């Protein structure tokens, strides 16, 4: 199996920018960006990130707000906050040198088993097996594992089998090979089994159960949330606040939020607030954003304030000039609203 995989990889090289050399910083950045993100979606972000932060020192010196703007639209914003924290640790405690052993890499904030193994093997050729979604699928199909793969026992079994397969002479090449094989040949839907060089030893193929493997546990229903955003304006200013760390979109900015458990009317929403509103634009925008565990329905109502004393002093919102609002990082629903209404809002 190992030889067939390595041969397949030699015949199907995949060109990705961070594969060019063994720079641990670039590999770390690429792996964090690609968590929960497809390569095609992550690539433009990787290029933009590297252009702005070519070294760990440049990343460590940035502000969280600027980093969030670079990350805007990629989701899972805590990844960026953890990266910034880790970059500062690398600069302060490791003198700017990326840690070169698995345990130290694993200690960095936001780095789990997968990312630590990826950096350790790709940058430092350490014999750590990388187990991502592609590897889980390939291994469970090769060995016809029909138990749900999201249990601890099955995860451990898959890790042990992948670890046995690992080529200890060239762990980096092997890890890339099996991940690429999962992405291109042993795909989630319509795997190319007929031309697969491993079909002779693939138990799922031999048993005719490829489409049943891997088995995932039942997905939890997504939580539905209703966000009613009042967009406060006063002269040439809009008012925004940074979101709390304990919820989604931590570190991103938003307008004045009223959240409800059910869909409701604007008249009900407006009864819940005591801002000195003198007029409302009378039009709203309605947007939807689907996250991994939640669905957000967001509506927007621009209003004009008489004064900003309450919203600034009591509610802690910050006035921003209309023309500067796009310098801030917003969740996707707000970004879409701002794009759609840029002209009307005079942004």
Q: Which residues bind ligand SF4 (CB under 6 A)?
A: 141-142, 185-186, 191-193, 196, 198-199, 202, 204-205, 210
Q: Which is nearer to ligand SF4, 7 or 279 (CB)?
A: 7
Measured from the CB atom, the residue of 208 and 282 that comes closer to ligand SF4 is 208
What is the rounded distance in angstroms from the CA atom of residue 155 to the CA atom of residue 160? Answer: 9
SS3 (DSSP) at 277: strand
Q: Decide: helix, strand or coil at residue 161.
A: helix
What's the distance, Cα to Cα, between the start and end of the chain in Å? 58
The distance of closest approach from Cβ of residue 12 to ligand SF4 in the complex, given in angstroms and rounded to an integer, is: 13
Q: Distance (Å, rounded) from C-alpha 163 to C-alpha 280?
A: 62
Q: Is 66 a catalytic residue?
A: no
Active-site annotation holder among 11, 31, 92, 259 = 31
CB of 172 to ligand SF4, least distance (A): 21
Q: How far is the CB of 181 from ligand SF4 (least distance, A)?
A: 8
Q: Closer to ligand SF4 at the Cβ: 193 or 277?
A: 193
Let me know: does 325 contact 347? Beta carbons within 8 Å.
yes
C-alpha closest to that of 129 among 164, 103, 98: 164
Nearer to ligand SF4, 192 or 259 (CB): 192
Closest approach of ligand SF4 to the CB of residue 193, in Å: 3
Helix, strand or coil for residue 170? coil
Q: How far is the CB of 162 from ligand SF4 (least distance, A)?
A: 13
Say how far residue 345 (Cα) sits from the centre of its chain.
Answer: 30
H helix or E strand, kind and range, residue 291 = none
Joined tokens for residue 71: 């990350």
Taking the least distance from each CB to ligand SF4, the nearer of 193 and 345 is 193
CA distances in angstroms from 151 to 142, 178, 298, 301, 334, listed in the order given? 19, 22, 35, 45, 37
Q: Smallest distance, Å, CB 134 to ligand SF4?
A: 11
CB nearer to ligand SF4: give 83 or 202: 202
Other Cβ atoms closer than 10 A to 303: 21
Q: Which two tokens stand for residue 23?
A: 């720079």
Of residues 9, 334, 2, the one with CA closest to residue 201: 2
- Tell me which residues are annotated as active site: 31
């Amino acid at each position: 199996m190992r030889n067939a995989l390595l041969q397949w990889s030699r015949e199907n090289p995949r060109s990705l920018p961070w594969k060019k050399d063994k720079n641990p910083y670039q590999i770390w950045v690429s792996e964090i960006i690609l968590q929960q993100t497809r390569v095609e979606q992550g690539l433009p972000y990787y290029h933009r990130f590297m252009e702005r932060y070519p070294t760990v020192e440049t990343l460590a010196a940035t502000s969280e707000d600027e980093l969030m703007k670079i990350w805007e639209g990629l989701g899972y914003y805590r990844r960026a906050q953890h990266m910034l924290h880790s970059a500062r640790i690398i600069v302060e405690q490791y003198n700017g040198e990326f840690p070169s052993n698995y345990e130290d890499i694993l200690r960095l904030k936001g780095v789990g088993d997968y990312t630590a193994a990826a950096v350790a093997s790709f940058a430092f050729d350490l014999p750590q097996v990388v187990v991502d979604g592609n590897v889980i699928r390939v291994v469970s199909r090769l060995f016809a594992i029909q138990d749900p793969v999201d249990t601890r026992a099955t995860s451990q079994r898959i890790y042990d089998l992948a670890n046995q397969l690992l080529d200890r002479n060239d762990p980096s090449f092997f890890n890339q090979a099996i991940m690429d094989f999962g992405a291109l040949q042993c795909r989630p839907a319509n795997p190319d089994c007929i031309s697969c060089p491993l079909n002779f030893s693939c138990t799922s193929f031999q048993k005719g159960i490829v489409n049943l493997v891997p088995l995932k546990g039942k997905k939890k229903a997504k939580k539905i949330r209703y966000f009613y955003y009042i967009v406060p304006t006063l002269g040439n200013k809009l008012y925004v606040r940074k979101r709390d760390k304990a919820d989604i979109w931590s570190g991103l900015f938003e307008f004045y939020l009223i959240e409800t458990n059910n869909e409701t009317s604007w008249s009900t929403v407006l009864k819940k607030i005591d801002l000195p509103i003198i007029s409302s634009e009378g039009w709203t925008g309605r947007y939807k954003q689907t996250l991994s565990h939640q669905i957000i329905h967001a509506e927007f109502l621009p209003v004009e304030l008489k004064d900003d004393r309450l919203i600034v002093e009591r509610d802690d919102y910050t006035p921003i000039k209309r023309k500067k609002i796009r310098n801030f990082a917003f969740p996707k629903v707000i970004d879409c609203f701002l794009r759609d209404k840029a002209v009307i809002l005079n942004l």
